[in-house]
Copies of this chain bind each other. A is one copy, B any other.
């Protein structure tokens, strides 16, 4: 790839991908609404509000691929989510349509289905059960991506990320964790595939414990290598026995199901 755009590159996940995807393209174009620090030799840094259509068009122009991590990534007030995750995503897809339809990895979320219980095993045909406005915005995002695929052939991987971080930090993540390495490898699979289509993919490592079935996406050849199970003893030691009544251990979306609607003011 010549130029790969990573949005949301100043966030925790963005920073991890900035390092790990550096070798996957000649140039990384990195954007965020926050400061991105100093540019590495093969980097282009762009300060950009996703709600600004023109800025997003300039951002996308010239890119061969997009890893869209930008936008609000936790529960927040609707106005902020609307600007970044609804309008922002529309802007991104319009920009992609105008600039050659580069393939997109879209960071969707397990919070689209957060109200399923942890003793349920689901695949991507399970009806949406979002656990907050953030989750609703990801349902919107999946629908928008699908529209652009059906109507214009725009390909997107809709990755419902579980918990993508250095390592699991609570017992729920023994099921939901995806290592940086596995996510990086998934992104590589998405960009190398001759045909991508518009699949939903559960973003989890090869954990012993899991709630989600990725067999429909086996055509991508993604085989995650890591396993949250290796961290169980450490979690048991530091956190003690998990509370069986806590939302964190009852719902796939964990504590998000308890979030209130955030007031606008």
The answer to whether B215 and A213 touch across the interface, beta carbons within 8 angstroms, is yes
The answer to whether A143 and B119 touch across the interface, beta carbons within 8 angstroms, is no
A220 vs B147: C-alpha distance when bound (angstroms): 27
**From A143, A197, A221, residue with most partner B Cβ within 10 Å:** A143
The answer to whether B223 and A219 touch across the interface, beta carbons within 8 angstroms, is no
The answer to whether A244 and B194 touch across the interface, beta carbons within 8 angstroms, is yes
Report B-chain residues with C-beta under 8 Å of the C-beta of A165.
none
Nearest chain B CB to A181 CB, angstrom units: 16
Other-chain residue from B130, B195, B207 in contact with A146 (beta carbon distance below 8 A):
B130
A178 vs B189: C-alpha distance when bound (angstroms): 21
The answer to whether B209 and A221 touch across the interface, beta carbons within 8 angstroms, is yes
Q: A208-234 CB contact bits vs B (8 Å, 1 = yes)?
A: 111101011111111100000100000
The answer to whether A125 and B125 touch across the interface, beta carbons within 8 angstroms, is yes
A90 vs B175: C-alpha distance when bound (angstroms): 32
A197 vs B120: C-alpha distance when bound (angstroms): 9
The answer to whether B143 and A136 touch across the interface, beta carbons within 8 angstroms, is yes
Q: Does A199 contact B (CB under 8 A)?
A: yes
Q: Does A117 contact B (CB under 8 A)?
A: yes
A150 vs B261: C-alpha distance when bound (angstroms): 13
Residue of B nearest to A197 (CB): B119
A45 vs B87: C-alpha distance when bound (angstroms): 32
A244 vs B218: C-alpha distance when bound (angstroms): 18
Report B-chain residues with C-beta under 8 Å of the C-beta of A213.
215
Within 163-201 of A, Cβ neighbours of B (below 8 Å) are at 171, 174-175, 194-197, 199
The answer to whether B223 and A218 touch across the interface, beta carbons within 8 angstroms, is no
A257 vs B146: C-alpha distance when bound (angstroms): 13
Report B-chain residues with C-beta under 8 Å of the C-beta of A129.
146, 150
Residues of A within 8 A of B (CB): 53, 78, 82, 86-87, 90, 94, 97, 112, 115, 117-121, 124-125, 127-133, 135-136, 139-140, 142-144, 146-147, 150-151, 171, 174-175, 194-197, 199, 207-211, 213, 215-223, 229, 242-244, 246, 249-250, 257, 261, 264
